């Protein structure tokens, strides 16, 4: 469904993303992980059209979407959420979600109906008339998810929708995301720091470090990969850990 080949982007002297290859098959749930500043959010911005890659191509359902505008890419069925939630603060939950719903629903009534159904799906059904700026962090994350889902996407890019949530809330979102894939057939690519969520949700994980893909595979294989451990804990950490285990 999504295919990135040799995608690179630098800001001045900083190489944010370097030659990343990635594939997301239809119907899968995949994750991108990596330490802070690894280039995950930049990669999402490149895929969703908010940034244009310096080199490399991005294909979505067979079409080259490299460098297209975000609104065009969204209309094709690829939608992203923001790590720092970006609610339409002055609007209610229902109105927020309706903005997304309007993409496939011209009439106001039909968009509002669709918005209500989507809000219920992510567990915001009882907050429809609440202003978005009065929501808790957990609810804002759900709103971010609901708005994106209301555009009826084929592929959903979730940028840390679980960051800052407590373990119960994480479990709820994990269940919601899984149902989005299972019930609606939406393919999901997520950036996540919450390893508990990555382990239970993702079928395949890509690890970025300093803009480069350093490993990929199943969550279990990734967690055991010494390169990944070193990326997170520093050079030599993997051998020290196994050494400590032996002693």
User: Under the rule (CB under 8 A), what is the footprint of another protein?
Assistant: 48, 50, 69-71, 74-75, 79-82, 86-91, 95, 98-100, 102-103, 106-108, 111, 147-148, 150-151
Closest CA to 119 of 106, 110, 104, 129: 129
Residue 214 CB, shortest distance to another protein, in Å, is: 28
Kindly state the tokens that stand for 108.
């106001």
Nearer residue to another protein within complex by CB, 155 or 228: 155
Task: Return all residues near 39 (Cβ < 8 A) that are at least 6 apart.
Answer: 9, 16, 17, 18, 20, 208, 210, 211
Nearer residue to another protein within complex by CB, 93 or 170: 93
Nearer residue to another protein within complex by CB, 106 or 183: 106
Residue 137 CB, shortest distance to another protein, in Å, is: 17
Give the containing element (helix H, strand E) for 72.
helix 70-76
Residue 154 CB, shortest distance to another protein, in Å, is: 13
d(CA 77, CA 47): 12
Nearer residue to another protein within complex by CB, 116 or 209: 116
d(CA 43, CA 20): 9
Residue 176 CB, shortest distance to another protein, in Å, is: 19
């Amino acid at each position: 469904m999504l295919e990135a080949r040799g995608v690179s982007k630098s800001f001045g002297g900083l190489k944010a993303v370097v030659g990343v290859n990635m594939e997301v098959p239809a119907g899968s749930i995949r994750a991108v992980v990596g330490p802070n500043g690894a280039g995950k959010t930049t990669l999402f911005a490149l895929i969703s059209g908010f940034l244009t890659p310096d080199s490399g191509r991005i294909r979505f359902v067979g079409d080259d979407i490299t460098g297209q505008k975000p609104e065009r890419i969204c209309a094709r069925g690829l939608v992203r959420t923001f790590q720092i939630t970006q609610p339409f603060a002055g609007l209610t939950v229902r109105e927020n979600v309706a903005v997304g719903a309007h993409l496939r629903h011209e009439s106001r009534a039909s968009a509002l109906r669709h918005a209500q159904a989507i809000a219920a799906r992510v567990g915001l059904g009882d907050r429809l008339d609440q202003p978005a700026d009065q929501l808790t962090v957990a609810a804002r994350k759900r709103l971010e998810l609901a708005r994106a889902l209301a555009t009826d996407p084929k592929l959903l890019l979730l940028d840390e929708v679980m960051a800052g949530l407590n373990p119960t809330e994480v479990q709820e979102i994990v269940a919601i995301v899984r149902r989005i894939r299972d019930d609606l057939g939406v393919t999901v690519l997520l950036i996540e720091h919450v390893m508990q969520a990555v382990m239970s949700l993702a079928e395949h994980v890509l690890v970025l470090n300093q803009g480069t893909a350093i490993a990929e595979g199943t969550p279990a294989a990734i967690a055991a990969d010494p390169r990944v451990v070193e990326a997170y804990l520093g050079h030599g950490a993997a051998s020290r850990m196994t050494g400590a285990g032996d002693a």
